[in-house]
Amino acid sequence: MKELTVRSIEKNYRVYIDNTIDKFHTLLEVNKIKVNDKVFLITDDVVFNIYKDVIELIKNETNCKVFYFIHGETNKSINTLQAIYNFLMENGATRNSTLIAFGGGIVGDLVGFAASTYMRGIKFINIPTTLLSQADSCIGGKMGYNYNGIKNAIGNFYNPVFVYVCIGFLKTLKNEQFRDGLGEAIKCGVIKDNQLLQFINNNYKYILEKENDKLLHIVKECLIIKSGVIEQDFKDIGIRNILNFGHTVGHGIEVTSNFGISHGEAVGLGMLVAVKLSESKLLLCEEVYVKLENLLKKLELPVKYKVDNYSSFMYAINHDKKNNGKIRFVLLEEIGKCKIKVEITEEEILAALKESIARG
């Protein structure tokens, strides 16, 4: 089992990375979780049906009560949160209780937010089940939900007691779900670590075949990169912005596609647009675009997208939480070196779209 510590101004916590879920009970004891204080496992319907055996194992170890909601981005909402609060109250959850988030990024965000607000804050454990959540969203403390068509418009920062990453869960993912996480993994390499990019490029066939050692290496390296950034800027007011490379346009694509384009796919497309903007604004070498596009293709991620509703697309971009009246992008000076809060005009975005993902 691999371990790493995520350090932040709130509290430090451990991330455990293993091929199985077998050590979960031991880690409850190590992290001083008292099952007698009531434990609640919350997931979505897809994860509930796939992992009934794992949920039963956790129930036997913790005597937890289980709640699940309908999966999907449209249910990352206040209505789902209210259902979680009702479940907790009806089953006598107290300030000493613990929530277990068992699922992908949406589950982690919602359960973390519920934990941070229920009785002004109770403990929670994150067990991410998708590559996207394992390599990215399971750490960092960002919790929240979508509101009025804006992703994560309502939220806060709140850390788990610990995170348990089980690589074995990735074997059950559909190919499109698996590739979704690869978009964020590539992003980590682009912004911080060319060696990670090279590893993905050299091993892409084995990665697509979901070989354990390759996936464990990618997840571990992504979490090391992200935890290093978080340690410098937990509240995301400065350098942590680099983790949003590709996300500004990516969020616009997610919204205009009615979430038909997944987050990781949208981030990949958004990175291509950001690289084109980096060429014009920061004189980035044109070879970076070719290298990135080829890697996305190897991993069977999209490199083309036509924005049909430009006003909705720009609405999502203009309402990005970091823009504050001006459109600001994370751009690339070179692989591994970013520049944050670069002001961009709508005209420059349109031009970059035409030169990148919309061309042809």
Residue 141 has pLDDT above 90, yes or no: yes
Helices (H) and strands (E) in the chain, counts: 15, 11
Arithmetic mean of pLDDT over the chain: 94
Residue 283 and residue 141 share a domain: no
Residue 352 has pLDDT above 80, yes or no: yes
* Residue 59 binned pLDDT confidence (cut-offs 50, 70, 90): very high
Contacts of 141 (CB under 8 A, 6+ apart): 8, 10, 112, 157, 158, 159, 230, 234
* Residue 322 binned pLDDT confidence (cut-offs 50, 70, 90): low
What does the pLDDT average to over 314-332? 82
pLDDT at 360: 66
Contacts of 83 (CB under 8 A, 6+ apart): 67, 69
Residue 36 and residue 166 share a domain: yes
What does the pLDDT average to over 316-340? 86
pLDDT at 237: 87
pLDDT at 269: 97
Q: Are 340 and 348 in contact (CB under 8 A)?
A: no
pLDDT at 252: 93
- Can you tell me whether residue 330 is helix, strand or coil? strand
How far apart are the C-alpha atoms of 259 and 73, rounded to whole Å?
A: 7
- Can you tell me whether residue 259 is helix, strand or coil? coil
pLDDT at 239: 93
pLDDT at 316: 86
Q: How far is CA 110 from the centre of its chain?
A: 13
Domain assignment present for 333: yes
pLDDT at 112: 98
Residue 159 and residue 37 share a domain: yes
pLDDT at 188: 96
What does the pLDDT average to over 153-165? 96
Residue 181 and residue 151 share a domain: no
Residue 215 and residue 346 share a domain: yes
What does the pLDDT average to over 147-151? 84
Residue 325 has pLDDT above 80, yes or no: no
* Residue 319 binned pLDDT confidence (cut-offs 50, 70, 90): confident
DSSP string over 279-346: HHHH---THHHHHHHHHHHHTT-------S-HHHHHHHHHT-TTTTTS-EEEEEEETTEEEEEEE--H
pLDDT at 176: 85
What letter does residue 241 receive in the DSSP assignment?
Answer: G
Residue 160 and residue 14 share a domain: yes
What does the pLDDT average to over 234-247? 93
Domain assignment present for 91: yes
- The token pair that represents 321 in the structure block: 């939480």
pLDDT at 245: 97
The C-alpha angle 338, 8, 236, rounded to 5 degrees, equals 40
Element (H, E) at 340: strand 337-343
Residue 327 and residue 242 share a domain: yes
Contacts of 253 (CB under 8 A, 6+ apart): 261, 266, 269, 270, 305, 307, 313
How far apart are the C-alpha atoms of 360 and 353, rounded to whole Å?
A: 11
pLDDT at 328: 93
Residue 303 and residue 285 share a domain: yes
What does the pLDDT average to over 152-157? 92
Q: Whats the size of the chain, residue-wise?
A: 360
Contacts of 175 (CB under 8 A, 6+ apart): 300
* Listed residues 120, 142, 172: the one ending a domain: 172
Domain with 337 in it? 175-355
* Listed residues 113, 142, 172: the one ending a domain: 172
pLDDT at 326: 84
Residue 163 has pLDDT above 90, yes or no: yes
How far apart are the C-alpha atoms of 297 and 232, rounded to whole Å?
A: 33
Residue 157 and residue 303 share a domain: no
Share of the chain above pLDDT 70, in %: 98
pLDDT at 10: 79
Q: Are 18 and 165 in contact (CB under 8 A)?
A: yes
pLDDT at 183: 94
What are φ and ψ of residue 273, in 5° steps? -65, -45
Q: Domain of 38: which CATH number?
A: 3.40.50.1970
Q: Considering its fold, how many domains does the chain have in total? A: 2
